[in-house]
Amino acid sequence: MTEGVGVAGVYVRDQDEALEFYVGKLGFKLHTDARNGDYRWLTVQHPNQESFQLGLFRPQAPLVDESTAQGLNEAVAKGAMPPLVLVVDDCKAAYQQMTGRGVEFTQEPIERFGSVDASFRDPSGNGWKMIQAR
CA distances to 5, 20, 24 from 33, in Å: 19, 13, 16
Q: How would you class 111 by CB atoms within 10 Å of its CB: exposed for 0-12, middle for 13-18, buried for 19 or more? A: exposed
Contact flag: residue 13 with other proteins (CB under 8 A) = yes
CA 61 – CA 68 distance, rounded (Å): 10
Regarding 106 and contact with other proteins (CB under 8 A), the answer is yes
Task: For residue 47, state whether it binds other proteins (rule: CB under 8 A).
Answer: no
Query: Residues in contact with other proteins, total (CB under 8 A)?
Result: 23
CA distances from 108 to 13, 57, 80 (A): 25, 28, 21
Closest approach, Cβ 85 to other proteins, in A, equals 6
Asked if residue 134 binds other proteins (CB under 8 A), the reply is no
Helix (H) or strand (E) holding 74: helix 66-77
Q: What's the closest the beta carbon of residue 74 comes to other proteins, in angstroms?
A: 6
Rounded CA separation 117/134 (Å): 11
Check binding of 9 to other proteins (CB under 8 A).
no
> Residues 60-99: x/- map of binding to other proteins (CB under 8 A)?
----------x--xx-xxxx---x-x--------------
Nearest to 11 by CA among 71, 73, 95: 73
Minimum CB separation of residue 125 from other proteins in Å reads 5
Residues that bind other proteins in the complex, under the rule CB under 8 A? 13, 70, 73-74, 76-79, 83, 85, 104, 106-107, 112-113, 117, 119, 121, 123-125, 129, 131
